[in-house]
A and B are shown apart, each in its own frame.
Chain A
Amino acid sequence: MYVAGHLWRAERLESTNTRLDLADDYEMLLWNCVHVATHYFNAALHAARVTEERDDYPASEANYYYVRGGANNGWKVTWAPFGDLVHSHIPGSSVPALPTEPEGDLALVLADLRQVESYRARFVRGNQPYHVADGVSCLEACERTKNLALKLIDNAGGRSG
């Protein structure tokens, strides 16, 4: 996917989050934050030339992507070199989710993404007691992911170039 596409999708999800309540809708608010943060991180990875910016979308399986041109509604799934990240780590697997562990500011973005992801198993798939402060922490980590990712993208000329 291209940087602009990641930013567009993240903004749509952020818009939805403004209509959700931190207490009543926390499951989807936390879940949306995972997608928002992942889109910003992917855009930053592309801008930094760590991963490839392409016109395809990741399937569930690592290194498989939806590409245009298939008979099934115009899409087909095919193997490709690493493009977009789906999860920052693969639960239960020793295989790294990223080809290389990022360094510097990208590592800081990744750390915040991993914090955002940590709420998913506890409060959405699972049923740990939730407090509004958890949602606030998640939103703050998501916002940090966004702000630093956008700074990295702008520095690389990714939004203007």
Chain B
Amino acid sequence: MNIQDHTAKAARIERTIAKLDPERDAECIIEASMLAATHCINAALHRMGYTDPTGDIVHSHTSVIPRDLGSPMNVALAALSTIEGLRPLYVRGGESPTFAVGVAAIEAMHTVRARCEQLLDG
């Protein structure tokens, strides 16, 4: 997917998140935050030249990009990893999510978007 499509997709998913409640809909918020964040990161990686539109990453733990990509992208990938870390317990698993869990996913996604916007605007 190209940069514009990734950005548009992330924005659509963020609009869905805005309709949801961090506790009642925590599973969906975690997944949506992961997806929106991944779209932002793919857009930035394309802009940085590490990947092209045929080589989107799916998760933060990937071997297709170098380990150290500089501060904004490293922070973005760490924040994506934080969101991914919520999935085993609160989406695939049986732990009951709190309001704070949903908020943590949204905040990490905002971190990803801010860092990726830096890279896209720079």
Contacts and interface: CB of A to CB of B under 8 A. Distances in A.
Contact of B27 (A9, A20, A25, A60): A9
Interface stretch (A102-110, A111-119, A121-129): A121-129
6 contacts: A19-B25, A27-B13, A27-B35, A35-B27, A57-B93, A125-B35
Nearest to A123: B9
Contact of A28 (B28, B87, B88, B92): B28
Nearest to A58: B92
Interface in A11-38: 12-13, 15-16, 19-20, 24-25, 27-28, 31-32, 35
Interface residues of B, number: 30
Interface in A32-79: 32, 35, 56-60, 66, 75
Contacts of A25: 15-16, 19
Contacts of A75: 89
A86 B27 contact: no
Given A27-B35, A60-B59, A16 B94 contact: no
Nearest to A126: B1
